[in-house]
Structure 1
Amino acid sequence: MFWADKIAADAQGYQVVNDSKTPSGRVHVGSLRGVVIHDVIYRALKHARKPVKFLYGVDDYDALDTVPKYLEQETFAPYLGFPICNVPSPAEGASDYAKYFIGEFFEVFEYLGIKPETYFLRDLYRSGKLNSHIDTFLKNAHLVREVYKEVSKADRPNNWYPFQVVCENCGKIATTVTTDYNGSEVFYTCNPDATNYTKGCGHSGWVSPFNGNGKLPWKVEWVAKWDVVGVTIEMAGKDHSQKGGSRDVANAISRKVLQKQPPFHSPYEFILVNGTKMSSSKGVGSSAKEIAALLPPELLRFLMLRTQPRTVINFVPNYETITRLFRDYDTLINKYSNSPELTEELMPLFYAQLGDDIQTFQPFDFSTLISLLQVPRLNIQEEVVQRSQQPLTEYDQQIVNQRIAAAQQWLQDYADEEEKLVLYLEQVPERSNDLTEEQVNYLHKLAENLQNISNWEAEELQSLIFSTTKELQVQQATAFKALYLSFLNKERGPKAGGLFSYLEKSFVISRLQDVVALNQSKEKVEV
């Protein structure tokens, strides 16, 4: 049984699936994994006919702790330590910093067919919905301190209270320390040395902790949020799920202070880029918006779902990774087309769809599209029609157009120079005039064999290229190096059979003959 369907099968009663994010900068594709995982759990519960609601919270009362490198440092540095909902928007179209960056992320939700009910922490605080929980945690501050000590070995002073005031003087929330509570007001100090990224102003005084005047520390806030919105299922990333980590602390606070069982939880792994965990505030990796601009929505969902949640995804949008992603997706589409029964193997494909149906199509190889787009003077649409095994339906054409756009985007933004196909059509490449005798003999023989081929198709050409290496007992690597140097001026390239199939037969044979002649004339000069 697929992992999400198992969670759904075990769930009893009304379920509230919740996920959340602090929009401290551009939201990176890594954060999408949790979103898609929770969306699939929600869908699995619906398919199991269990009553369910899907919520997504915006933790916008958290402090701005870093100015991302892509923003003006001078403009935003004065707001370090402020609640991010109180920081100005980087551009027009949003009322504040938090809504600007979460707005970008929500556009990606829509693109992926993800439709949770959303809520903002500022509204829960300012409307008073968290007031009773703030009071409970302040009155039981000793229990919260005990949990920190027992679970995460973190010592809190006896006068530490789980609350951070928005300083009435300077507006910062990261720098305030609460040291007393009299049942209606807290005493706080805006400590100049509270953090290493901004300084408090030194102000102190008594203030009501209610109606948005401050916030709970996030591990305590997590518990309050679960109770207020009724969360029953919330997964968490590996960093929060380690022994003694954030989730363990929150679970213990829920049990010890509220006497309530925490929501169902199972950890999931990160998405890495070149082995580095992505960070919103540091701008490391690719944003969710950028990756959504590259991949069709079903492929982006599939990227998240073809791997078990507890397995790391290392997404590097290079040629090998992206072509394999499309190839794996197409393999499952073909399997479903041949036998439309939802086996466990096909469940990632099923949950990758934006709706509840798998709409099959005639797959067109993505790596071939990347190559075709780089052949000069080629009409890509006509070439796809000619190369397709059957006439394209309207939906087939829609998918092809989507993939052409993805291939163009990849070539523009992600392809290394080594991965780009630069065909030398007008002249013989410089590096092809220094081939070995063995390579020259191979090209000569291949030109002869190509004269006799009747079907100028990629697979047949590839077979002939291989059979010629066996005929002359030439190492394949040696032969292919000669071919790529003859057409691309570099030692590597796409499948040679595919490359030849994009070109006129007469041109390919003529080029091989020219390279052979060039090398033979060079040998005569040397003699």
Structure 2
Amino acid sequence: MPIVAQSTETTDWVSRYADEVVAESERRAEGAKHDGAGAPVIVVASGLSPSGPIHLGNLREVMTPHLVADEIRRRGYTVRHLLSWDDYDRYRKVPAGVAGIDDSWAEHIGKPLTSVPAPKGSPHANWAEHFKAAMTASLAELGVEYDGISQTEQYTSGAYREQILFAMKHRGDIDAILDQYRTKKAPPKKQSQKPVDEAELEAAEGSGAADEDDGSGSAAGYFPYKPYCGDCGKDLTTVTAYDDDTTELTYTCSACGFSETVRLSEFDRGKLVWKVDWPMRWAHEGVVFEPSGVDHSSPGSSFQVGGQIVGLFGGKQPIGPMYAFVGISGMAKMSSSKGGVPTPADALEIMEPQLLRWLYARRRPNQSFKIAFDQEIQRLYDEWDRLAGKVADGSVLPADAAAHARAVGTAAGELPKTPRPMPYRTLASVVDVTAGAEDQTLRILSELDPGNPLAALDEVRPRLDRAEAWINTQVPVEQRTVVRAEPDAELLASLDDEGRESLRLLLEGLDSHWSLDGLTHLVYGVPKVRAGFSADAGPKELPPEIKVAQRTFFALLYHLLVGRDTGPRLPTLLLAVGQDRVRKLLGA
């Protein structure tokens, strides 16, 4: 059953862009593509190059139009989210850190991505299909509905033949537009006292027409088309002659020396250069909305130049925001040419799809943000759960409610969810202590709330599985929790009267406080009672010294239980260890 559309009063960024896209689509209504019933089809677009692992920064290229398209669907319009797989792009370099490849893959540089062998051991037909597969699976898990198009299939089937011939005929007009930017120098960079962001620096250095492929020039002139060599298959070719009337094209290859003359009206082994290819597709597909990264939005780069070229093809430039980079806690800007870069599949191993969707939905596209693979993920989950609570009790702000609704489902319905979403940090602590043993995990989790005990682990899945994956893949071994096998006799013997009395009060209260809330009250209350206050005393009633006493007491418990100064939250740890073993390790 479709989700009821959110009120336009939410005024979140998705609603605002949806308003603009619908209005722009209505302005273009004459001659627009229509569905079978005659209603206009609103086209939004994304483009991904499967040149290597498709990372979490690339995901923003898809999530931004997805969220806007989904909002438009909720309003009853017909929307097509076109996802162009740029698999006919050239293979530029051998990426680092990809399993199953070696230096021999360098011999394929210059070939289309679909002509490069997949990494060893891959079940996929070629390089592009190998990297598309993981992204396709992740998008399905995220509930992203799209219409995928292979640019290899488009070009080799002749789908763009008319546009290619048109571009070649009007190459002088295209060259004149591009020439406006070729001689422009980048403005001097302003000095800033704030730290330099590597992502912004890379984007700034990578922008501008001179840094992007805009076509080849030779003694015969400028040509916006690049053939792939008929002998070695690479794009290291130069067009040396072209006849507009016969469409005969002659090229030579600098890689192998091969040369041939072909009839372009029948030839399908090549493509338009990027700065011409992109606006051609806007016109061909009738794209109304497409975001672009900062590297494509800078002055003189693809999006700006494309806005002038698209008119030659009889189309209009899509509207769409510049989107900022997505980072990872503790890492610099992600680049698919670098190894070890987290992908959507990596993120979905440790977080539910709803949380990942929310991270993209709650920030405007031009706002950068980081995705946590470290301890920060626990705080993010706490924030997400608090938001869900506000939605449930009606205290949530409209824009936050909209972001939540976009995270938990789409126009087609809600995404599968955890029936009983216990705190992520609690689940992580439990699987950390139990090393994933299901019987012990169920025992501990069922004791968290004795009044409403957990009956089966499926009630806390898939969140439990995500927390376990986080512990196993992201927490260093030296930070894992290992409960002591025997009491620390030396430490117990060295305790002063205050330490022994604190342990006695804790042990006496275990039976009557054996639940998550009860143990929380107990461990925080012992230092209060030792100082002559009630265990129920609030912060305003207590002197600052109590916090110091609590930290000292907590450190003592951690040393006696796990041999370290810190560890999982003590109430959870006590439940995980079990009452009998706690008594033994605390010297009872």
TM-score tier after normalising by the smaller chain length: 0.7 to 0.9
* Deviation (angstroms), 1:398: 4.4
Partner Cα separation in structure 1 for residue 173 and residue 561 of structure 2: 73
Pairing 1:337–2:337 present:
no
8 Å Cα contact 1:442/1:479 also seen in 2: no
CA shift in 2, pair 1:215/1:161, >3 Å: same
Tell me what 1:366 maps to.
Answer: 424
Pairing 1:381–2:439 present:
no
Partner Cα separation in structure 2 for residue 420 and residue 442 of structure 1: 30
* Deviation (angstroms), 1:45: 0.6
Tell me what 1:495 maps to.
Answer: 569
Pairing 1:170–2:232 present:
yes
Tell me what 2:515 maps to.
Answer: 457
8 Å Cα contact 2:291/2:320 also seen in 1: yes
What secondary structure does 2:287 align onto? Answer: coil
Alignment of 1:130-209 (within 5 A): 130-151=160-181, 153=184, 154=209, 157=217, 159-173=221-235, 175-183=236-244, 184-191=247-254, 200-209=255-264
Pairing 1:226–2:282 present:
yes
* Deviation (angstroms), 1:442: 4.8
8 Å Cα contact 1:19/1:56 also seen in 2: yes
Partner Cα separation in structure 2 for residue 249 and residue 42 of structure 1: 26
Tell me what 1:44 maps to.
Answer: 71
What secondary structure does 1:277 align onto? Answer: coil
* Deviation (angstroms), 1:120: 0.7
* Deviation (angstroms), 1:441: 5.0
Instruction: Tell me how large the CA RMSD over aligned residues is.
Output: 2.9
Which residue, 469, 476, 482 being the options, matches 1:416?
476
What secondary structure does 1:375 align onto? Answer: helix
Pairing 1:238–2:300 present:
no
What secondary structure does 1:34 align onto? Answer: helix
Q: TM-score w.r.t. structure 1 length?
A: 0.86
8 Å Cα contact 1:222/1:250 also seen in 2: yes
Residue by residue over 1:116-148, the C-alpha shift from the partner in whole angstroms, topping out at 9 and shown as x without a partner, is 111111121122221122122222223323333
8 Å Cα contact 1:429/1:489 also seen in 2: no
Any unmatched runs of 5+ in structure 2? 1-10, 27-39, 185-208, 211-215, 532-544
CA shift in 2, pair 1:399/1:106, >3 Å: farther
Alignment of 1:111-122 (within 5 A): 111-122=141-152
Partner Cα separation in structure 1 for residue 302 and residue 479 of structure 2: 43
Partner Cα separation in structure 1 for residue 519 and residue 448 of structure 2: 14
Pairing 1:30–2:91 present:
no
* Deviation (angstroms), 1:487: 1.6
* Deviation (angstroms), 1:367: 0.8
Tell me what 1:446 maps to.
Answer: 502
CA shift in 2, pair 1:390/1:118, >3 Å: farther
* Deviation (angstroms), 1:429: 8.6
CA shift in 2, pair 1:297/1:33, >3 Å: same
Partner Cα separation in structure 2 for residue 346 and residue 61 of structure 1: 41
* Deviation (angstroms), 1:24: 0.9
The one-letter code matched in structure 2 to 1:126 is: T
Partner Cα separation in structure 2 for residue 209 and residue 414 of structure 1: 53
* Deviation (angstroms), 1:75: 4.4
The one-letter code matched in structure 2 to 1:417 is: V
8 Å Cα contact 2:492/2:587 also seen in 1: no
Tell me what 1:261 maps to.
Answer: 316
Partner Cα separation in structure 2 for residue 64 and residue 434 of structure 1: 68
The one-letter code matched in structure 1 to 2:333 is: K
* Deviation (angstroms), 1:467: 4.2
Q: TM-score w.r.t. structure 2 length?
A: 0.77
